[in-house]
Structure 1
């Protein structure tokens, strides 16, 4: 994949023009048909004029987004457009990057998550993250799931129940219930990723962030994760970064398209181009850059 902003003067005039024939070959799946998104998301997390800097480099600028409760939102766009940077802002993972700082508002139920009084550990408990590659700890399956509740100070009456419920929630219990004391490294890649999801939901979050969670998995394991995401969205708000257009179309309720624009000095900054229902983004996008990306004209 290239990281080149298209020359919009070369994009055919039919792209994005009202009534023009589209050449979008991404078919919307039926996984999310159990519930259509509301007209407007209800604002579990809101971004207002978000800018992210790494030292003096401005990685992302002017992002305004609202994430709805118990919806799946997909962040798409070419490499280097700031999707993962924005995702990491949502539970302050960028705090761990030297030189990173955030400007603008990032609010969770109206609370400024970057206020000095906010407990970062509590933020990350309530807004969990699943990373691109499965990253189980060098512990047993049981201890991987129990890790989050232990380190965050949760005191459940019965840790066994917490572990079992989390593994059920990640659709993994039936596959591992007889080997909970075995190393997590003995699981397949897809099982390890579902274990990481179980580890995340064991702390009872409200939001789950997923940064390309299927990029290292085969198609069968990917399908299981996608089915799991749709099931989890009945309980959790899910925000996913993906380069897989089919995946975004299959599982998400809303889609945000990002790209990177160069300034007069050649510095490329990620910007939000368009945010709408997934059916609108993939069926009749408002911006010709969105359609050019979805149809493979750049990216």
Structure 2
């Protein structure tokens, strides 16, 4: 069974560089053509919601200490694939997953695997900041408490998580205040800190900046690049400039309509280094999308 990333079957003349071919110097680093010893692999992944085939035969490998962006038009299955990586689709009525998602050699969909334990190791940050109706401190402490995580000092853990999320200096004097009093950008960084507090290996982000202003977006992007040093990050984004700025690799998805029903099934078109995807994509569909000709 093939586990290498999908590649394009279309070859063509070298295209003119896209206007989005601007990868930040701090993320444009030397990487192998495909991830070495990937942390997570999707193998022949198919997702169904009832009779609807939402995602078709996705094969992707996510590299250690890399940021992988998944881009594509609405309805192409990128968020569905993201939710498969920590079994969040288990919570969707009628959802069914076929194929494998392998995390450090273990299929997380195998019989007997606890999805709660999976989500402890593979955390998620959602599109809209969702702090709990608790204090800032209790938001961070919640995960370690409910999972029974052994810590020497909860105070130190809270400070560490907030510091890693670049939020400590802004909230250290109001830890007992409600998290709802924070700005939208601060709430999103709080949610990132809450994810970090359980010490995961992987952080999934589903359009984490969609509801944020440009300043808050920039802070979250900078934070993602910093966190990459200790975590594997997978981000779904509609913002192609964001994908070009922060990611090491990019996967482009599209949707194929069923001729009979009109339902759109998500397909992986191309997966490569971000610098190549945005400067010299191997598939015309990728070029058309990033240049704004469709999507």
Tell me the TM-score range normalised by the shorter chain: over 0.9
What is the alpha-carbon distance in structure 2 between the residues aligned to residue 21 and residue 179 of structure 1? 52
**Is 2:269 the counterpart of 1:273?**
yes
Residue matched to 1:144: 139
What is the alpha-carbon distance in structure 1 between the residues aligned to residue 265 and residue 27 of structure 2? 35
Residue matched to 1:292: 288
**Is 2:89 the counterpart of 1:85?**
no
The 5 Å alignment of 1:144-223 reads 144-223=139-218
Residue matched to 1:5: none
How far off is 1:122 after superposition?
1.0
* CA deviation map 1:120-175 (0-9, x unaligned): 11100000000000000010000000001011111212100110000011000000
TM-score of the pair, normalised by structure 2? 0.94
Indicate the SS of the match to 1:283.
coil
Residue matched to 2:89: 94
Gaps of 5+ in 2: 1-9
- Which of residues 234, 251, 258 is equivalent to 1:239? 234
What is the alpha-carbon distance in structure 2 between the residues aligned to residue 115 and residue 187 of structure 1? 40
- Which of residues 8, 17, 22 is equivalent to 1:28? 22
What is the alpha-carbon distance in structure 2 between the residues aligned to residue 222 and residue 233 of structure 1? 17
Residues 20 and 125 (structure 1), Cα distance of their counterparts in 2 relative to 1, 3 Å cut: closer
Residue matched to 1:39: 33
What is the alpha-carbon distance in structure 1 between the residues aligned to residue 278 and residue 68 of structure 2? 14
Indicate the SS of the match to 2:133.
coil
What is the alpha-carbon distance in structure 2 between the residues aligned to residue 27 and residue 280 of structure 1? 8
Residue matched to 1:12: none
What is the alpha-carbon distance in structure 2 between the residues aligned to residue 200 and residue 261 of structure 1? 34
What is the alpha-carbon distance in structure 1 between the residues aligned to residue 234 and residue 28 of structure 2? 18
How far off is 1:19 after superposition?
3.0
Gaps of 5+ in 1: 1-14
Checking the alignment, whether the CA contact within 8 Å between 1:49 and 1:62 is kept in structure 2 is yes
TM-score of the pair, normalised by structure 1? 0.92
How far off is 1:248 after superposition?
0.1
**Is 2:109 the counterpart of 1:118?**
no
How far off is 1:31 after superposition?
5.1
Task: Report the count of equivalent residues.
Answer: 284
What is the alpha-carbon distance in structure 1 between the residues aligned to residue 234 and residue 210 of structure 2? 16
Give the superposed CA RMSD: 1.3
